[in-house]
Structure 1
């Protein structure tokens, strides 16, 4: 329920805002100082477009989603190639980017927390396939292959592209570029026409592809939760439309994402949206891994198609504990992260409030109203055709 109410819509809202940022960069040539509401209007339009495509044109939406994923992969490869070529020609800034690379690095834990929140957000899409297992062929075999394979490819491309940024841009330029660093990178290497006007539009489209994937996964999560009795209105939210899509679930996800786009304070929306979404995500991932380890001892005979590695379990629990605790530690004056009018404790406290409300909804729906016994899945199973 926390994923439905917080994690998914806040992540989609953040990606939608970034889509607006790149389209505005292509139009104005500025990486920052855009109209806050211009970004939000573009973000709202992106979410509505993705919901309409997945709701009424399912096959087309899947094709567009796949095509935009290819665009994103090609753009990441292009960043690496362009960065290496610029460095080889002597047009880069390797001395500024890599000499004394850790100079000025903060030792305050809140700075590392802020960085981890953003990094974990960037890689969080690896588990999206879990929400559509009902539509996946042979999930026991294909799910771990797709998740691990996709994560490996993403890791290599992300690390290589970040290295390419610092072959071309000095750290201060990267910092000033904020979320539009790729646009500044291409402007410096390819010029104003390709680098500022054309490629940033492609980056915006690639980010739109992220939103499309997120809308697809989030709507399936709402759909399945409603059918299993975890949400009220299961007869409506768990209904498959004549277009072979969960229209009601798509509408609910679109509405919640829109609320996350328009409600955060101006100027700080992106960082706040990431922080408020990642916090409950890691709370439950840490608890889930602990539960997994407990079940290994208490239910030794359960079938296990695949087994999580011990090192992965330990790292997950350690990261979760660090992020959950340090989120309430006051940052230093120069620490990166949410600042300005939003207190440092606002995001985790808001996330905990949502979690408490979700627990209340769970008690009402599952215990008081006996949602599991009354669900559409009780005694039968029906999925997508």
Structure 2
């Protein structure tokens, strides 16, 4: 019979992350029943899979998540928006500073609560009342919005383009679904192989951007003929012309800032898998900072390479083709037509691998908490020593989002819906950090976020939540819907989570005279899970 977690145990002395409390917990007699009390979150937990993620692998998990296909497309539109090279480069630095705000929050949480699950762990620990509320909202978002689709689609499109095939909806989706399926199988059946492949793809991506950056420097130092006037290109980065035609209007700048900020998203990716990271606290502190510095430097260098190779008028008018123009000027049309699309495809595939790897762990943690059906099956690491259940939960919505919507506007609309509720999560974690500083000063904090940075992050979240409700000039969104439709749908999903929580844990228990309790069970592979059971009121 599964061991039962007694509700009375929650009234015991809270477990703190001091050395005394940790040792007392770890040295408990074998006859003690396992616990899944929320206070255990402050203790490091090793996954059944073991601690397989080294510092290097953790670094790739972050940097490969941060550096996506955007750096090959967005710089041109950012320069067109800002009007000048100098202002565009300044925004890439500002984007790194803004990313550091959220990074500091996730660092404090991750070092204080070094457990897999990321925001799931932080919200459950911070907002313990109403009971099960935070867990329900996290589970609803994970099931309904936990998909990886955009980079799968990008992969399919650019592979077809590189090899000269027509990009049809069927062929693009087939390649996208093939990539998603292959990555799911690799991560689900061959744990170590999956880690090695995503590490390899991550280093290929970093190496490619570094190669482009060094190419730009080579062009300047040796005055290589790239098909444009060298004097014209040199003037683009001279101080006199660096700020020419700068557009300092806030409305214009805000659009560019959002694009740049998106290029730095993902710095908290390793927080989702801390149970599998070697020396998690030290690794977390060094990996995230190293990844932010690396991304900022590479972004600045590759932008420099674009500006010294491609004339500014082509940069502004080229839109998402700026990288294609770069390769065309340096290596010729034929080479650039093949190499650039393959480079973007590799970048997209690497991003899909690391996102799938981490989100599967989040899903597994949700299942372990008892908030998914068939939680025993989805929590287990059998039969291949990998979170196959979490991968399946991630695979199904990703498959549907890729396969069902038509290419184009409707698909982009779905991606907007995916991202909007995340701003509420970011806001809740930032506010929760301030609340824990006051109410739980007893917790050990190996890293403490700078308070003005936390307040600024809260202000940014509020601005992003409100932004969709300010009408554009034509009053319509790109897909022809009401301009705030994606925000309303995102809020609707959150409200659905609230309604589900109320019915499952408040209304139905009250109507039928029972209460929901947690039982702790140890699966055959050693995974400790929580199951939710209905207990009749006496």
Alignment gaps of 5+ in structure 2: 1-137, 510-514, 529-538
SS in 2 for 1:307: coil
Contact 1:65 1:213 in 2 (8 A): yes
Find the counterpart in structure 1 of residue 27 from structure 2: none
Q: 1:17 aligns with which of 153, 168, 172?
A: 153
Task: Name the larger-Rg structure.
Answer: 2
Richer in helix (by share) = 1
Q: How does 1:183-198 map to 2 (within 5 A)?
A: 183-198=324-339
- The alpha-carbon deviation at position 132 of structure 1 amounts to 0.8
| Matched positions, count | 375
Q: Does 1:71 align with 2:210?
A: no
CA change 1:123–1:55 in 2 (3 A) is same
- Please tell me whether the aligned partners of residues 413 and 479 of structure 2 are also in contact (alpha carbons under 8 angstroms): no
Judge conservation of contact 1:7–1:280 (CA < 8 Å) in 2: no
1:227: Cα distance to partner?
0.2
1:40 lines up with 2:195 in the alignment: no
How far apart are 1:251 and its partner, in Å?
A: 1.6
Moved more, 142-151 or 213-222: 142-151
Match of 2:480 among 341, 349, 371: 341
**1:324-373 deviations in whole A, cap 9, x for unaligned?**
1112211235x9x9614344312222222222223344455666687771
Q: Secondary structure at the match of 1:327?
A: helix
**Could you tell me which residue of structure 1 aligns to residue 458 of structure 2?**
317
User: Contact between 1:276 and 1:348, CA under 8 Å: does it hold in 2?
Assistant: yes
Secondary structure of 1:66 counterpart: helix
Secondary structure, in 3 states, of the residue corresponding to 1:194? Answer: helix
Where in structure 1 are there 5+ consecutive unaligned residues? none
| 2:271 corresponds to 1:134 | no
Residues 26 and 196 of structure 1 are in contact (CA less than 8 Å); yes or no, is this contact kept in structure 2? yes
| Contact preservation (8 Å) 1:97, 1:169 | no
Task: Give, in whole Å, the separation in 2 of the partners of 1:248 and 1:96.
Answer: 53
Given the two structures, how large is their TM-score scaled by the length of structure 2? 0.62
Taking the aligned partners of 1:342 and 1:96, their CA distance within structure 2 comes to 40
Q: Structure 1 residues 81 and 47, CA, compared in 2 at 3 Å: closer, same or farther?
A: same
In 1, Cα distance between equivalents of 2:156 and 2:248: 31
**2:394 pairs with 1:256:** no
1:123 and 2:261 are equivalent in the alignment: no
5 Å matches for 1:1-385? Answer: 1=138, 3-5=141-143, 8-9=146-147, 12-28=148-164, 34-87=167-220, 88-89=223-224, 91=226, 93=233, 99=241, 103=245, 105=247, 107=249, 109=251, 114-170=255-311, 173-174=314-315, 179=320, 181-264=322-405, 266-268=407-409, 271-332=412-473, 339-363=478-502, 373-374=518-519, 376=521, 382=527
**1:72 offset after TM fit, Å?**
0.5
State the Cα deviation string for residues 9-35 of structure 1 (Å, max 9, x = none).
Answer: 1xx211212222322332349xxx954
CA contact (8 A) 1:118 1:274 kept: no
- State the SS of the aligned residue for 1:373: strand
TM-superposed deviation, 1:145: 1.5
Deviation readout 1:229-285 (Å, 9 max, x if unpaired): 233331122121221111122122111112222445532367535533332222211
Question: Structure 1 residues 167, 331: CA separation in 2 closer, same or farther (over 3 Å shift)?
Answer: farther
What secondary structure, in the 3-state scheme, does the structure 1 residue paired with 2:328 have? Answer: helix
| Cα distance in 1, alignment partners of residues 407 and 470 from structure 2 | 24
- Asked whether the 8 Å contact 1:68–1:205 carries over to 2, the reply is yes
Is the alpha carbon distance of 1:381 and 1:60 closer, same or farther for their aligned partners in structure 2, counting shifts above 3 Å? closer
